[in-house]
Amino acid sequence: MELFTPDFGLVFWMFIAFILLFLVLAKWGWPVIIKSMESRANTIDQGVEDARKAKEQLDNARNEAKKYVEEAQAKQAEMLREAAKMKTEIIEQAKHEASEAARREMEAAKLSIEQARKEAELQFRNEVGKFSIDIAEKMVRNQMKSDDAQKQLVDKLLDEIEKN
């Protein structure tokens, strides 16, 4: 059968054509196509990965920012609370100090008043003594106006000394 016997000419040319086609395509054709397809696939994969990472980073950044804001808010609240505390403390202290100062003043005042009183007392006593001496002097002077009286007294005193 003609159909089942391979024709030499066709086999010959087929061999040449196929080998040439194979060599040309193996050198300049398929490697380029496969490499391009693979590098594109890799690029796409990389892109997807990058996008995922970027999103992750964005989410992270957002979370971080939120965290910072929250932290700041907490700090602010803390600070406010502290300030309030400090304020009350200061006021308290001031009050305390004021009362202390007042007390001290009062004490000082008391002390000076006391001193003044004592001085006044002393002075008064001195005055009173002086007065009484004066009065006594006057009275004595009055009593001793007569020489009798003076002699009596001297006698009396001399008696007393003799008794002893």
Q: Distance between CA 96 and CA 104 in Å, rounded? A: 12
- Does 46 sit near other proteins (CB under 8 A)? no
* Count of positions on this chain that bind other proteins (CB under 8 A): 34
Q: Distance between CA 150 and CA 152 in Å, rounded? A: 5
CB atoms within 10 A of CB 96: 10
Q: Smallest distance, Å, CB 52 to other proteins?
A: 20
- Does 32 sit near other proteins (CB under 8 A)? yes
- Does 45 sit near other proteins (CB under 8 A)? no
Q: Smallest distance, Å, CB 48 to other proteins?
A: 14
Residue with Cβ nearer other proteins (39 or 126): 39
Q: Smallest distance, Å, CB 61 to other proteins?
A: 29
Residue pair 150/144 in contact by the 8 Å Cβ criterion: yes
Residue with Cβ nearer other proteins (15 or 124): 15
- Does 11 sit near other proteins (CB under 8 A)? yes
Q: Which stretch binds other proteins (CB under 8 A): 13-21, 67-75, 102-110, 151-159?
A: 13-21
Q: Return residues touching other proteins (CB under 8 A).
A: 2-15, 17-18, 20-22, 24-26, 28-34, 36-37, 39-40, 43
